Structure 1
């Protein structure tokens, strides 16, 4: 398990969008090496998932482990960007979403920071991440977050009476082969999305990291003084807010459920 106090919480998920009014420079890039699943302690990281996406054709299916990734920043095209939260050698917590492409642990991939994109995607992902970050963070909830992000990004308009369901629609998670605790928690968060009012001051923003050769990623950025579990530097210089980046005190991570 890596030292959580050294982590940069830039939670990556794919195909979401940057939601601040002032977008990042289109040329900004970061090269990440994916090291493995992030382990929040108390058990195995990356709980079991069994998911299918049927739109667009052909069907995409994944059965294996899912959850937060541990990645290391290896390079970047913008000096100010790399010198802060994404500095070379910095550890970053990530999630993936895109089923059509993949990454391999131990390999490096270069991403371009882009946005804005689908309004419904980034708004719902920000509300989703605020539920994740304010609750107990475990290996099970890490996998739950992965399931919920897949659902939101693959079912942009929702499939459950205007909401989201892991059981119906073009993206589904099979209860056979998917960790029960993660499935239940993910659906609870998804059910809460329509009850939550989006707010500019919600604490976190979504940024799209895009690659033509690997899974697209999304980073969640702290734009307030909300304490992060185990976070060190805030990813703010890339937003033109480098002066606000500061170290946060370490928080003991709970054991996995």
Structure 2
């Protein structure tokens, strides 16, 4: 999920067993609403975690009914992941969960969910059952610490439009596992043991308090790849004057000496990616 170039073998092993759990469920999506099955999955997650010496010790599962915005299931391990008991979460309701995110993270979640739903609506309904949507997000734990979570969602019940009616979410605290703050969303389509990525997007504008707008990120990324003002104007359907205005704003925001310096600063702070 997050950039895996610098993760350890143990990190990759952790991802593999999470994928193994999901693979066993894709063929029978109705199991994703069965309390006994979900409790068994949670037990299996804990056992796998012990094999990794607790490297992933905090994972939780919840099931949400989008028609009523009620939780149908929350695992006991919610206490470990968020610091709040499942009883507190049930009592406060689904919308309460949003209070654990900063304004920037909420905006990011909104954009991600819009992208996920747009993708799901393009699929035949029988394929939506076989998808797994995955993204990472930062949440505020009850103890005041910030935790990086990976949320993986599957859809045991959907509308004819392809939009979820029921979502089963596996949430993993990867704060100690990954040290990359990259914001990314993936949607995979399962076919037996085969996984195919059908959607992937980086949300650079939401990373590390990025001061650049989405358009500025696009322009600076293009500059980093050698694009000229005339090229940028053509690609983005802008006037050369507007392109230069964006360039000046980028240099000002990054306190850079020039465009080349701005590229170096942006790459160093991961405001853009090559």
Which one has the bigger helix percentage?
2
Which of structures 1 and 2 has the larger relative contact order (alpha carbons within 8 angstroms, sep 6+)?
1
Of the two, which has the highest radius of gyration? 2
**What is the TM-score with the length of structure 1 in the denominator?**
0.25
**What is the TM-score with the length of structure 2 in the denominator?**
0.24
